[in-house]
Amino acid sequence: MLILLFLKGRKSEAISPRLIALLLGTPFALNWIAVVAGLYPYGRTRQCMFLALFALPGVAVALARIVGNFTGPACGLAFLIVIGCQAFGTLQGRDLLPVAEQRHEHMDELMEFVRSNIGTKDVIFTDQATSYQLRHYLCDQKPVSIEVSPEGFESFPCEGFHVVFTGANDGALTAQSVEARGHNSDGRLDLNSTAEHIWVVQGGLASGLGEALQHVSGFTQIEVHSFGRYLEIFRLPTRLPRPAQG
């Protein structure tokens, strides 16, 4: 699209095609720079939806240039492009949750389980991405007050529950990260020494945390409760094994 504007623009037009190409391409360039710097995500995510405002006019201009500004051929070519994207584009589920896994019933069942089985003296441990889901569904969409601990964990109270989650740069929980977390002298995961039980919740694109943890020494007896493929919860042992020294 940008190449067409640069090469096929007519100098007699009121606005320079090259200027249009620059204006439409700049947001993409800035987004890519932010990605390289680790400041902003890029891809098929809601954070990048604003780029559609610049992509659609660019595509429209490119189509008009290709067919010589004739409406019928432009519509036909647009239709063929849509078919091509549908046939050869990235399959859903490659970078998004499959439609079957986005059922609201899965989250409703998880929330019912949490309210029925987790006590007020327990701690819910999760990653940052899943914490947003808990804020929305468990906290009944009410504002929460975030606290940051010296260990780098963040937490908030919610409808009588205490949710602790990892930092923004830690990513999704893994069996290795849970096993390697700092432990206090009592052998508990170093989140809240007064907690009776620690429950781990994970959702989103990550899956299989509980199953992977069951293959780690000291965690083999955990009981994983799954709600679809991408929502799970399990209670950690009362005493955790010491991380392996290496």
Residue 232's SS3 state is strand
Q: Any idea where the domains of the chain sit in the sequence?
A: 2-88, 99-235
What are the helix (H) ranges across the chain? 2-8, 17-36, 52-66, 71-88, 104-117, 128-137, 175-180, 209-213
Residue 162's pLDDT is: 92
Q: Is the pLDDT of residue 98 over 80?
A: no
Residue 186's pLDDT is: 47
Percent of the chain with pLDDT over 70: 77
* pLDDT band per the 50, 70, 90 thresholds, residue 95: low
- For the residues 191-215, what does the mean pLDDT come to? 82
Q: Is the pLDDT of residue 3 over 80?
A: no
Residue 163's pLDDT is: 93
User: Among the ranges 8-12, 14-18, 213-217, which has the highest mean pLDDT value?
Assistant: 213-217
Place of tokens 């007699």: 12
Place of tokens 């429950």: 199
Q: 135 φ, ψ to 5°?
A: -60, -40
Report whether 233 contacts 225 (CB < 8 A): yes
* pLDDT band per the 50, 70, 90 thresholds, residue 126: very high
- For the residues 9-26, what does the mean pLDDT come to? 72
Residues 6+ apart with CB under 8 A from 79: none
pLDDT tens digit sequence for 41-75: 776 667 788 888 888 888 887 788 788 778 888 88
Q: What is the pTM of this model?
A: 0.61
Report whether 215 contacts 175 (CB < 8 A): yes
Place of tokens 């399959």: 91
